[in-house]
Amino acid sequence: MGLFDRLKEAVGITPAAAPAPAPMREAASAQGSDEPGWRRLSGDGLSSQNDRDLSPMAQDRMQKVAEYLWQSNLLANRLVELPLAYLLAEGVTLQCKDEEHQKLIDAFWRDPINNWPLKLTPRVRALGLMGEQCYIANVRDGDGFVRLGYLDPRQIATVVTDPENPEQPIGVVTKRDNRGKQHKYRVIVLGEDSELFSANTARIRAEDFQDGECLLYQLNKFPNGSRGRSDLLGQIDWLDAYDEFLFNELDRIGYLRAFVWDVTLNGADPKAVEDYEKTFTPPAPNSSFVHNDSVKLEAKSPSLQAAETSESARLLRNHVLGGSTTPEHWFGGGGDVNRAAASEMGEPTFKIYTGRQNFLKLALEEIGRFVLWKAAQASGEKPDWAEDKWQVTAVFPELVNRDVTKFAAAMASLVSAVIQMIDAGLLTQETALKLVADVAQRFGQDFDAKTELEAARKEAGDRKAKSRADDSFNLSPEEREALRTGRGVPVASNKPSEDPEPVPA
């Protein structure tokens, strides 16, 4: 059973109930092929109107099949869930330096309807599967409090871009519902339309998109493309092929385990053979079969001449894993990997995850600034995005637990080396501290070497002065007597002492 047969069965369309499918063709591709039936989803699906996008039919099918594979294909599920675990497992928070703004962000983040701590993971999962996410903004009159609704990407018909800047989406048009109703939403951009767009674009947004505002985030698209694409798009056919390979292997294993009884009757005519067949009963397990030398009984199993399939399975699986930059040993295939090699093999994967984390970070920070912007509009205030009070920071968990032992050893060796070079006059203190700062970044500490050096010198001077003050041998006779009588150390002054009694030496 093929992928689309299983997909139809999963949604309740049985072969008996389904009408005979008519030949289907997608929009003309660059190659102009007109073969009937389904095409490979990962190829020849470009729209004739915009060769940076899939055709509407291919876009819909991509989203449906990606969602289906996540539910039914183990390998596809892991390709989606593993990044989620690294990106979001410990939770995400939004933070502001301004206390009042932090209260607004916390109220938005934990609102029972928004409920981002609960909804963030499924939304990020859907972003990777569908290639885009759209949130309808509902702003409360009076205080500008924001609640976000969800628009299913499969309900998006068109994303309209700025006629003068195809990189900037300006509106989202939905498909018609059962009542023929179609919605048009303005894509939110933080600022006034009159200041950000041309007069023509501002007019289009004001006149044609009057059903509300939405936040739109898209993945895997060209700058001048209008629709996002699934993370699984390039692997969909290979994921299905891997599934089919394993199902076929199950059939082959079943055939190899099958056998028949081969009975030979020496010197028997056809009538005797036919009579013996009617009365023959195959022996049961752990039973006996008694016969003379004219009867021969053998168990025959098929010899399919099947080659070893483990390497074929590994080749196909690694082709899919390589396309997602996932190491083989993350999916149960250890191969020749040892601990050291496994650590190095994970670095490209974590770079990819870091890129996705940065995308999510920017998206959540924009959502946070939108919340502050709407609250400011309600109070008649205009945000200055250059000020720290209007900045929002999305804090994500660390992708991996740092192995600080090797960095600690490197830090110790580096500090020893730079001290020797400073003593030998071969290195300045500021440059030495810059070298130390490079290693300190591995511990999550980031500082400016020049500023840190000035602060360290000042602190060392203060510490030296305090140490000298604590050393009674460096005190004057007046200071020692003050300490002896419990009056404290007098402050140094050019004025003569007001103590009438002479202080012995």
Given this model, what pLDDT does residue 8 score?
46
Higher pLDDT, 466 or 142: 142
**Residue whose pair of structure tokens reads 């082709």 in the numeric block:** 319
Alpha carbons 374 and 368: distance in angstroms, whole number: 10
- pLDDT class of 33 with cuts at 50, 70, 90: very low
Mean pLDDT of the chain: 80
Lowest-pLDDT choice from 97-111, 200-214, 375-389, 443-457: 443-457
Residues 6+ apart with CB under 8 A from 76: 66, 69, 70, 232, 235, 239
Q: Per residue in 216-238, pLDDT tens?
A: 999 999 998 899 999 999 889 89
Residue closest to 157 by CA, chosen among 127, 180, 125: 180
Residues 6+ apart with CB under 8 A from 482: 488, 489, 490
Residue closest to 242 by CA, chosen among 340, 184, 173, 321: 321
- pLDDT class of 441 with cuts at 50, 70, 90: confident
Residue 363, pLDDT above cutoff 60: yes
Higher pLDDT, 314 or 63: 63
- pLDDT class of 475 with cuts at 50, 70, 90: low
The amino acid at 276: Y
Q: Per residue in 294-303, pLDDT tens?
A: 888 888 777 6
Alpha carbons 167 and 442: distance in angstroms, whole number: 36
Q: Per residue in 327-351, pLDDT tens?
A: 877 777 666 665 555 566 667 888 8
- Cβ neighbours of 100 (radius 10 Å): 11
Given this model, what pLDDT does residue 6 score?
52
Higher pLDDT, 162 or 404: 162
- Count the alpha carbons within 13 Å of 164 in the hemisphere toward its beta carbon: 8
Provide the 3-class DSSP secondary structure of residue 47: coil
Given this model, what pLDDT does residue 218 score?
95
- pLDDT class of 493 with cuts at 50, 70, 90: very low
Alpha carbons 70 and 120: distance in angstroms, whole number: 18
Lowest-pLDDT choice from 46-55, 90-99, 110-119, 479-488: 479-488
Residue 250, pLDDT above cutoff 60: yes
Given this model, what pLDDT does residue 469 score?
66
Provide the 3-class DSSP secondary structure of residue 166: strand
Residues 75-86 have a mean pLDDT of 91
Higher pLDDT, 13 or 138: 138
Residues 123-151 have a mean pLDDT of 94
Given this model, what pLDDT does residue 488 score?
53
Lowest-pLDDT choice from 70-84, 150-164, 388-402: 388-402
DSSP states along 324-361? TT--GGGGT--TT--HHHHHHHHHHHHHHHHHHHHHHH
Backbone angles phi and psi of 14, in degrees to 5: -85, 155
Higher pLDDT, 449 or 118: 118
Q: How large a percentage of the chain has pLDDT more than 70?
A: 76
Residue 60, pLDDT above cutoff 70: yes
Q: Per residue in 170-191, pLDDT tens?
A: 999 999 988 889 999 999 999 8
Given this model, what pLDDT does residue 327 score?
81
Residue 120, pLDDT above cutoff 60: yes
Given this model, what pLDDT does residue 47 score?
55
Higher pLDDT, 452 or 64: 64
Alpha carbons 414 and 433: distance in angstroms, whole number: 10
Q: Per residue in 20-32, pLDDT tens?
A: 444 444 333 333 3
Given this model, what pLDDT does residue 322 score?
83
Higher pLDDT, 125 or 460: 125
Alpha-carbon radius of gyration of the chain: 37
Exposed e or buried b per residue across 389-406, where buried means at least 16 C-beta atoms within 10 angstroms of its C-beta: ebbbebebeebeeeeeee
